[in-house]
């Protein structure tokens, strides 16, 4: 029997295979990578009967089209996007049956930024360091999805969830991120600007980090040099231009610019779904 696959027709601006990442290798210079919105991926996996760590697709904005070679079940979660299966409209945040030969069409997201497509059995490209996640910074894991790719799908592990629809948080609008100060907040003449001002997400944002535009954060000593030190997920680094950068899943493991604060891990999935131009404020 031939193995199940998704045959990619339209890949959109950036579609990658993601699971829950490869934490524990930062000392080797390897970022954790993984889904930028883990709750969305885990919900999709639960809906189709996969374990939480199964690999699915992270679709940036969309569209994405693929043909299923075998029958199965899919679920689209995360950013709200129109879904059609076999030419028929299908619900999101719900298990959807797919027949062999059905075309799965994910349209452009209408709210949020990153839809997640989970497939019963999970995607099974070769794992690197115990993860199938694509790391766009270090180039580990499967390559970025292109039209014509054939994505292998594993065998079903259990039946789809017995639900009609699973709730998900509302997306879009101003975003408030909780932070903890440090380790280099004392390098800034007025660190409090970060929590008193409004910033906007810029179009230069990606899986490595969310770049912000707003009031400049000035150093106390503009000539001071900082030796390269470790970077964690959610770290807010301030480059020479004074505009904050929030590191996401594919962040470098070290950096030489000062980190003024760190965003609470539980707020990062919301940031992953924020679009360029949306407002961000910080709460200490």
Rounded CA-CA distance 76/37 in Å is 13
Residue 139 · residue 30 · CB < 8 Å: no
CB atoms within 10 A of CB 166: 16
pLDDT tens across 126-159, in order? Answer: 999 999 999 999 999 999 999 999 999 999 877 7
Pairing status of strand 209-213 against strand 199-201 = antiparallel
Buried b (16+ CB within 10 A) or exposed e, 44-63: bbbbbbbeebbbbbbbbbbb
Q: Where do the structural domains in the chain lie, given as residue ranges?
A: 5-152, 175-283
Cβ atoms 144, 207 nearer than 8 A: no
Q: State the DSSP H helix or E strand holding residue 40, giving kind and residue range, or none if neither.
A: helix 38-48
pLDDT in tens, 51-87: 999 999 999 999 999 999 999 999 999 999 999 999 9
Confidence label for 164 from pLDDT (cuts 50, 70 and 90) = low
Listed residue (279, 248, 263) closest to 177, CA to CA? 263
> Rounded distance, CA 262 to CA 246, Å?
8
**Helix, strand or coil for residue 109?**
coil
Closest to 282 measured CA to CA, from 229, 241, 249, 234? 234
Cis amide linkage into residue 63, ω under 30° from 0: yes
The one-character DSSP state at 71 is: -
Q: How confident is the model at residue 165 (pLDDT cuts 50, 70, 90)?
A: low
Max Cα-Cα span within the chain: 67
175-283 under CATH 2.40.100.10, yes or no: yes
For residue 158, the 8-state DSSP code is: S
How confident is the model at residue 49, as a pLDDT? 94
How far is CA 12 from each of CA 85, 103, 115, 174, 276, rounded to the nearest angstrom? 17, 15, 12, 26, 17
Instruction: Output Rg (C-alpha) for the chain, integer angstroms.
Output: 20
pLDDT in tens, 195-252: 999 999 999 999 999 999 999 999 888 778 888 999 999 999 999 999 999 999 999 9
């Amino acid at each position: 029997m031939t193995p199940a696959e998704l045959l990619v027709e339209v890949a959109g601006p950036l579609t990658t295979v993601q699971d829950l990442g490869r934490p524990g290798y930062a000392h080797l210079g390897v970022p954790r990578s993984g889904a930028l919105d883990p709750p969305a991926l885990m919900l999709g996996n639960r809906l189709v009967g996969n374990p939480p760590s199964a690999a699915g697709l992270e679709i940036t904005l969309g569209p994405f089209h693929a043909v299923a070679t075998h029958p199965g079940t899919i679920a689209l979660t995360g950013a709200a996007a129109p879904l059609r299966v076999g030419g028929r409209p299908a619900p999101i945040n719900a298990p959807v049956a797919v027949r062999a030969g059905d075309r799965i069409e994910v349209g452009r997201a209408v709210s949020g930024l990153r839809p997640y497509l989970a497939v019963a059995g999970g995607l099974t490209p070769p794992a690197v360091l115990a993860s199938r996640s694509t790391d766009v910074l270090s180039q580990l894991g499967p390559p970025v999805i292109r039209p014509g790719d054939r994505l292998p799908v594993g065998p079903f592990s259990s039946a789809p969830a017995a639900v009609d629809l699973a709730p998900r948080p509302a997306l879009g609008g101003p975003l408030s991120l909780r932070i903890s100060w440090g380790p280099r907040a004392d390098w800034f003449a007025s660190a409090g600007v970060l929590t008193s001002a409004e910033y906007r997400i810029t179009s230069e944002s990606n899986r490595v980090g969310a770049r912000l535009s707003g009031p400049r954060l000035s150093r106390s000593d503009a000539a001071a040099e900082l030796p390269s030190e470790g970077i964690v997920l959610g770290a807010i680094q301030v480059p020479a231009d004074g505009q904050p950068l929030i590191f996401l899943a594919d962040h470098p493991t070290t950096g030489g610019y000062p980190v003024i604060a760190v965003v609470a891990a539980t707020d990062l999935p919301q940031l992953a779904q924020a679009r360029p131009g949306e407002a961000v404020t910080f709460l200490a």
